Amino acid sequence: MKILRNGEVDTILAPASYFTGTVFQNPIVTAPDPARVNAASVTFTPGARTNWHTHPLGQTLHVVSGSGWFQTEGEPRIDIHAGDSIWIPPGEKHWHGATDSMMMTHIAIHERDPEAGHITWLEPVDEADYLARR
Minimum Å gap between C-beta 59 and Mn ion is 5
CA distance linking residue 127 with residue 20, whole number of Å = 10
Minimum Å gap between C-beta 51 and Mn ion is 10
Using the rule CB under 5 A, which residue among 59, 71, 99, 105 binds Mn ion?
Answer: 59
CA dihedral 75, 131, 45, 12 (to 10 degrees): 60
Piece in contact with Mn ion (CB under 5 A), picked from 4-12, 39-47, 57-65, 73-81 = 57-65
User: H or E segment at 42?
Assistant: strand 37-44
Minimum Å gap between C-beta 94 and Mn ion is 6
- Cβ burial of 69 (10 Å; 0-12, 13-18, 19+) is buried
Q: Three-state DSSP class for 127? A: helix
Minimum Å gap between C-beta 46 and Mn ion is 19
Piece in contact with Mn ion (CB under 5 A), picked from 2-10, 39-47, 56-64, 68-76 = 56-64
Longest dimension (CA), the chain: 47
Residue placing its CB nearer to Mn ion in the complex, 86 or 103: 86
Residue numbers at the binding site for Mn ion (CB under 5 A): 59
